[in-house]
């Protein structure tokens, strides 16, 4: 994936988020947990980048660091704001962040805990409009009613509290809140993982419809690759804080270049029980980001590993135009795609 940076909505370059580790009586620093370790990607206008990987690989930390919910350790996050132009979120002051956040919002993983149980839908969805002094009174009520209609909920629900709704409906409320300020860019942090399968499909279709209607760009975070394939234009695969492969969705799913991606693709369930899947087993556990393996982080679990993999860390290199991977043998391995299992 190498879209023109001049036409990007978001450019993330060499982003890092390290948490210091301390020990001893004087609590001296003895190391770091490298939750996000030097990741880069670009998201064009009206496109979706899917960020995938096992739980604990750093996906959510990356999202929160991009939004400056957590302070980055290093790197740049350039957001092309429709009013302010290019803004480096990693260095922006409090006032600039306040202005920028009008145009970038977040949908959270748990639709229950992300909504205040003591606020009505009118209060929850209307709060951003009040904070940014966009609407109040009757105009506020009208705006909230319109937003509820956009996400498939009835306007008369606005006087109810979140506990009166199902999980899928609560997620729609969270989406309406994210849309309230008419943003350019939304981070969706596993927005379907807490929902039933049928409700997942409805939510994904809603997000795609809203993308077309409001010209939105998404960073879509998930560990379910079948969900990511449905909604994403590009996909980046994370492993222990690093991006190990990145490409457009079609190429990555059918012609992967990293063994970890192949293993993830093999784990996608098939709806037909008569199909015997040939899974690529991933041995062992996800490494500790405070003490990762030498060389390639994936080599202790990789079926294709050789001696060099334990000694040298492979760079993230372009294998074919628009397709990058961090593997010493990316140009030699013949890996299986999603339809080969």
Q: What's the CA dihedral at 234, 282, 109, 47 to 10 degrees?
A: 0
Strands 217-222 and 48-52: parallel
- C-beta separation of 38 from 76 below 8 A: no
Give the start-to-end residue ranges of the domains of the chain: 1-97+219-341
**pLDDT value at position 281?**
72
Which residues contact residue 23 at a Cβ distance below 8 angstroms, ignoring those fewer than 6 apart?
30
Tell me what percent of the residues of the chain surpass a pLDDT of 70. 96
Predicted local confidence at residue 267, as pLDDT: 85
- pLDDT single digits (tens) 198-239: 888 889 999 999 999 999 999 999 988 888 999 999 999 999
**Helices marked H in the chain:** 59-66, 94-100, 121-131, 137-150, 167-179, 197-214, 225-231, 249-254, 259-266, 307-311
236: helix, coil or strand? strand
Tell me the C-alpha to C-alpha distance, in Å, between residue 205 and each of 110, 199, 201, 210, 283.
Answer: 19, 10, 6, 9, 35
Q: Is the pLDDT of residue 36 over 50?
A: yes
Q: What is the CATH number assigned to the segment(s) 1-97+219-341?
A: 3.40.50.300
pLDDT one-digit tens code per residue, 153-198: 999 999 999 999 998 999 999 999 999 999 999 999 999 887 888 8
As a whole number of angstroms, the distance between CA 244 and CA 316 comes to 7
The model's pLDDT over 61-93, given as tens digits with 9 standing for 90+, comes to 999 999 999 999 999 999 999 999 999 999 999
CA dihedral in degrees (125, 131, 136, 137; nearest 10)? 70
Distance CA 57, CA 64 (A): 14
Mean confidence (pLDDT) of the chain? 92
Which residues, other chains included, contact 78 with Cβ-Cβ below 8 Å and sequence gap of 6+? 8, 10, 11, 12, 13, 86, 87, 88, 89
Helix pair 167-179, 121-131: axis angle to 10 deg: 20
In this prediction, residue 1 has a pLDDT band, given cuts at 50, 70 and 90, of very low
Packed helices 137-150 and 121-131: angle between N→C axes, nearest 10 degrees: 120
């Amino acid at each position: 994936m190498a879209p023109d940076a001049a036409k990007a909505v978001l450019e993330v370059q060499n982003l890092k988020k390290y948490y210091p580790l301390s020990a001893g009586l004087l609590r001296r620093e003895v190391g770091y947990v490298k939750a996000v370790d030097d990741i880069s990607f670009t998201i064009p206008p009206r496109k979706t980048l899917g960020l995938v990987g096992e739980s604990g690989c750093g996906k959510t930390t990356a999202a929160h660091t991009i939004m400056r919910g957590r302070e980055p350790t290093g790197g740049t996050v350039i957001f092309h704001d429709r009013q302010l132009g290019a803004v480096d979120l990693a260095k922006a002051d409090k006032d600039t962040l306040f202005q920028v956040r009008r145009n970038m919002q977040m949908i959270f993983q748990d639709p229950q805990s992300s909504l205040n149980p003591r606020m009505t839908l009118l209060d929850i969805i209307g709060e951003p409009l009040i904070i940014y002094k966009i609407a109040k009174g009757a105009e506020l009520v009208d705006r909230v009613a319109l937003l509820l209609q956009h996400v498939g909920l009835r306007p008369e629900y606005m006087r109810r509290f979140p506990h009166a709704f199902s999980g899928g409906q609560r997620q729609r409320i969270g989406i309406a809140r994210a849309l309230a300020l008419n943003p350019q860019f939304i981070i969706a942090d596993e927005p379907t993982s807490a929902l039933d399968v049928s409700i997942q499909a409805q939510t994904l279709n809603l997000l795609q419809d809203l993308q077309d209607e409001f010209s939105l760009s998404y960073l879509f975070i998930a560990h379910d690759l079948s969900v990511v394939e449905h909604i994403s234009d590009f996909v980046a695969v994370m492993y222990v804080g690093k991006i190990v492969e990145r490409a457009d969705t079609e190429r990555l799913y059918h012609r992967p270049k990293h063994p970890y991606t192949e293993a993830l693709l093999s784990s996608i369930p098939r709806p037909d029980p008569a199909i015997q899947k040939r899974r690529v087993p991933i041995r062992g556990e996800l490494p500790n980001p405070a003490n990762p393996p030498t060389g390639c982080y994936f080599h202790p679990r990789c079926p294709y590993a050789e001696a060099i993999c334990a000694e040298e860390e492979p760079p993230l290199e372009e294998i074919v135009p628009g397709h990058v991977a961090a593997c010493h043998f990316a140009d030699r391995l013949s890996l299986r795609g999603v339809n080969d299992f």
